[in-house]
Chains A and B, each alone.
Chain A
Amino acid sequence: MATPIIRFTHATFGFPGVTALEDISLEIADGEFVGVIGPNGSGKTTLCRAVLGLLPPRSGHLQIFDCACQELRCHHRARIGYLPQKGVLDRNFPITVLEAVMMGRYGALGLFTRPDKQDREIALHALDHVGMQDHRNSALGHLSGGQQQRVLIARALAQQPQVLLLDEPTTGIDITTQHAVLDLIRHLHRDLKLTVLLITHDINMIRSYVDRLVLLKTRLYAAGPPAEVLRQDVLQQVYGKELVITEKDLIIVEDYHHHH
């Protein structure tokens, strides 16, 4: 296995009175495609914030690249391309596709440096990767949900990241588009040698894409290849009776709280 670029060592995260993640020990190697699963409120988004260096551990240790999480400087953050959970984008917000993707360069450039021709090339290249170059002058708000997601992935790619961190990338888009987005992520993982950390509640969707699954519910319940994690006895600890495994080995997790 390659060298770990993210390493949690007995790390606990939370706020006074609330423990979001407890005693997490996990190593993510360079070039891995890892899926993080767990029910709602299991600390998946906290894991995201931790990896971005926005939330230092209350105890234990978190190492990202070559520095501790609490020391994670802005230029390190730029090495992680982040796709946040899809919010409601104001359809009328005046921003073009290229303007949005260019923002991916801003953190990497740092203060007082203006984006130049080369940054524009990088942004256009990123748009090319997600197949959206023809839309570069379109209004972001006029695109479909799947297209917007592609553009925001291009924005993350424009950072020229080492790690791609995706928080529920398939939520809120239709089912054919969901697979297209996941296929795109797989391509990026292979072609650009990106380490991918994909957070989702949809186990069925991602099981065939990932090298490893990490099962969370405040604590880390399992981490390993999908075949090892997606077993009745492992999953039941976390999902309880909401879990049904059918004969075809399809796993259906009814997540009643999902539709907020």
Chain B
Amino acid sequence: MIEMLTYDFMQRSLLAAVLVGAVCSVIGVFVVLRGLAFIGAGTAHAAFAGVALAYLLGVPPLPLAIVFGLATVWITGVMEEQGRMKLDVSIGILYTATMALAILFIGLMKGYNAEVYGYLFGSVLSVTPEELRVIGLLSVLVVGVIFIFSKELYFIAFDQDMAEASGVPARRIFYLLLTLIALTVVVSLKTVGAILVFAMVLVPASTAYQLTHSLKQMTVYAVLIGVGCAVWGVMVSYWWDLPSGPAIVLLATTVFFLSVFFSPKRVRRADAAH
């Protein structure tokens, strides 16, 4: 246990797991409460298309991932507001279109590029010091902004119209939330991978949702669960030589199902049925 902490790469990956676990579960609280799960899943694939394009052009992947991610959340935000089409349909189209772009970019590359696939499946054990710095910086940024605007974010998650009516600039806060979702996805892309990143956002927050009746408690529980699963997942993947992304996500999902089964809300519903 102690001996594995002597490896540099292990220290880095545990730190990355803590950061990603924390930032994903904090943003996840608002994603779950505001009902934006679909948007996030689409964003992960769009960000991956940005990464693929960057490798095709031979430029650093992070800026393009951010651009693609932001474009997707903002477009879906506008579509949600205008409500011209059902949101699940429009996001479904956007989601597959960005995935098609990613496959197209990969196809245009000459030969097999393992690094691109690293972003698809994620590998926390291969995080470089440089990447860790970026993850740290963006995590602090996202969590800091959430802290500053937490009362407005909670309010729009509870009822956006009511927030607007009582003098909160709700629309701008909604777009701020979308922006933070995109940044979170990009931060976590290398660690858990495009396919699984959204589990890290959804699962700890939905688990916490089962366990409490208070917004503040839900946030605390979500972070504890998110960080706990991420750290535990990294260790499991080290001990048993398993891929880290699935180890973290499957661990979190197990905790989620346990929470659904033992949820006080579930017990109360069962009481009410009698």
Q: Is B155 part of the contact surface with A, judged by Cβ < 8 Å? A: yes
B166 close to A (CB within 8 Å): yes
CB <8 Å contact, B158 and A95: yes
Taking CB atoms, residues of chain A closer than 8 Å to B152 are 106, 111
In the assembled complex, how far is the CB of residue A161 from the closest CB belonging to chain B, in whole angstroms?
9
Given contacts A107-B166, A111-B152, A112-B148, contact A92 B161 (CB under 8 A): no
Judge whether A115 is part of the interface by a CB distance below 8 angstroms. yes
- How would you classify the secondary structure of chain B's contact residues: helix, strand, loop or mixed? helix
A114 to B152: give the CA distance in the assembly, Å. 10
Interface of A is mostly: mixed
Q: Is the CB of A104 within 8 A of B213?
A: no
Is A75 in contact with chain B by the CB < 8 A criterion? yes
Number of interface residues, chain B, beta carbon within 8 A: 29
Q: Which residues of A contact B163 (CB under 8 A)?
A: 103, 106-107
Inter-subunit contact A74/B168 (CB<8 Å): yes
- Contact residues in B for A141 (Cβ distance below 8 Å): 213
Q: Which residues of B contact A99 (CB under 8 A)?
A: 154, 214-216
Q: Assess the B166–A104 pair: CB atoms within 8 A.
A: yes
Whether B149 sits at the interface, judged by CB under 8 Å, is yes
Q: Which residues of A contact B155 (CB under 8 A)?
A: 103, 106
B140 within 8 A of A: no
Interface string of A84-98 (1 = CB under 8 A from B): 100100001111100
A92 to B155, CA, bound (A): 16
Q: Is A244 an interface residue (CB 8 A)?
A: no
Q: Does B169 contact A (CB under 8 A)?
A: yes
Q: Mark B145-188, 1 if CB is under 8 A from A, else 0.
A: 00011011011001101111111110000000000000000000
Specify which chain A residues have a CB less than 8 angstroms from the CB of B161 in the assembled complex.
Answer: 84
Q: Assuming A94-B218, A111-B149, A112-B148, is B213 touching A106 (CB within 8 A)?
A: no
Q: Please indicate the chain A residues that have their CB under 8 angstroms from the CB of B149 in the complex.
A: 111
CB distance from A92 to the nearest CB of B (A): 5
Q: How far is the CA of A82 from the CA of B209 in the complex (A)?
A: 28
| CB <8 Å contact, B168 and A84 | no
- Nearest neighbor of B212 in chain A, beta-carbon distance: A94
Chain B stretch 193-218: residues in CB contact (< 8 A) with chain A: 208-209, 212-218
A100 within 8 A of B: yes
Contact of B166 among A82, A139, A142 (CB under 8 A): A82
Q: Which of A45-89 contact B (CB under 8 A)?
A: 52, 54, 74-78, 80-82, 84, 87
| Contact of B168 (CB < 8 Å), options: A81, A82, A107 | A107
B223 CB → nearest A CB, Å: 15
Q: Which residues of A contact B (CB under 8 A)?
A: 52, 54, 74-78, 80-82, 84, 87, 92-96, 99-100, 103-104, 106-112, 114-115, 138-139, 141-142, 156, 159
**Given A84-B159, A159-B166, 14 more pairs with CB closer than 8 A:** A74-B168, A76-B167, A80-B165, A94-B33, A95-B214, A103-B151, A104-B166, A106-B152, A108-B166, A108-B167, A111-B152, A112-B148, A114-B151, A141-B213
Can you list 27 pairs linking A and B with CB atoms under 8 Å apart? A75-B167, A76-B167, A78-B166, A81-B166, A94-B213, A94-B218, A95-B213, A96-B213, A96-B214, A99-B154, A99-B214, A99-B215, A99-B216, A100-B158, A103-B151, A103-B166, A106-B152, A106-B163, A107-B163, A107-B168, A108-B167, A114-B151, A115-B151, A141-B213, A142-B213, A142-B268, A159-B166
